[in-house]
Amino acid sequence: MAVRLLSHELSDLCLGKPALRSLSLTSTIAEALEVLKTSDDNFVSVWSCDHNPKTSPCFETAAGFHDDDDCRCVGKICIVDVICFLCRDENLVSPSVALNHPVSALFPEIPGLVLHVEPSCSLLEAIDLMLDGAQNLVVPIKPKLSNKRLKHKGREFCWLTQEDVIRFLLSSIGLFSPIPALSIDTLNIISSEVLTVEYHSPASAAIGAISRALLEQTSVAVVDSEGALIGEISPFTLACCDETVAAAVKTLSSGDLMAYIDCGGPPEELVKVVSAKLKEENLIGMLQHFTVSMSNGVFSSASSSSDEECSMAALVSPLPRPGRLSRSMSYSARMVRRSEAIVCHPKSSLVAVMIQAIAHRVNYVWVIEDDCSLVGIVTFSDMLKVFRENFETMA
């Protein structure tokens, strides 16, 4: 059984994966928003076919070179990239101008986040690439697996993430016994290096932390004055919102921002607060953009349910995004969840934490003590390191 697991190729993990939604590197941010608003995935892939290193700053392959015959994925973007971009002072003044920038303006200056690999790439090689910093592995879809959706010069692609690998390893968790039953404390995979913001502090103070959390696939913990975990500002939750959340980030406290993005839509009183503060700060461009978005139904869909109904819906079904189309019940459909943090205890077992993260579609779980004091965070990357070390003994 162990030999069989080690022999798996990435093509085995691609079964049932949808073809990537793609966007040209020459697209504007506004055009990217339109694609993101109708996508079932948090991220959309950005492609270039000119193979020009100057216009493909994030382009890299696992082998260190590119294929001149194919279009290549040069990066990925999500709504959070747009939100953080609009939070810049100059862009809040005129968001319409900011949205006409090329989509490349959203790319982080970090190469290797997206890598092309062949379907024959082994599971071990994929894990090593992810531990080296790759977040998405772009894999060609074999013709017999293709759903004839979007192609790049006759080929379709899907991508694999840390979540896909962890989910796959969970299906064979018994092979790693007794490791999965050990506590995360015993395995020494709790990281104390966490991103935090105080509950009453301005949410704008967390913009840098939000951008970093997006890059690290983690989240920003919201704590009280004594360091107890209250909630989080998660890129995952922000990715289920409209780009006008940038206005809320710039005008609300961190605690109020949690309430604003909670359960798929903002409370009426906070909408009024944001509007008043935008007017007070003379951010007329963002105020107009914000007002139009609210008038298009963002607020009405969020306020129509009670808190209890909203909480239950967030657990069992996809909710409409603010200002977006409703999602289907497909596996890839994004789930709008509350900003209540997903937590575990230092003595929680590795397998229990894996299941928690997968169930909530996040790449991390917060670790707290019984008094809610924040201990640290456990990520998929931490988990992959444990499994990678144990692969050596299985070979």
The two tokens of residue 311 are 């909480």
Q: Are 103 and 46 in contact (CB under 8 A)?
A: yes
Q: What pTM does this model have?
A: 0.82
Helices (H) and strands (E) in the chain, counts: 18, 12
Query: How confident is residue 22, by pLDDT bands cut at 50, 70 and 90?
Result: confident
Span 327-347, average pLDDT: 58
- In this prediction, residue 14 carries a pLDDT of 87
Residue 16 Ramachandran class (φ > 0 left, ψ -120 to 50 alpha, else beta): left
Radius of gyration of the chain (CA): 21
Q: Are 62 and 88 in contact (CB under 8 A)?
A: no
pLDDT above 50: residue 177: yes
Which has the closest alpha carbon to 197: 20, 28, 339? 339
Query: Quick one: which H or E segment has residue 7?
Result: none
Return mean pLDDT, the chain: 81
Tell me whether the omega of the peptide bond preceding residue 178 falls within 30 degrees of 0, making it cis: yes
- In this prediction, residue 11 carries a pLDDT of 87
Tens of pLDDT along 109-121? 788 899 999 999 9
Distance CA 327, CA 39 (A): 9
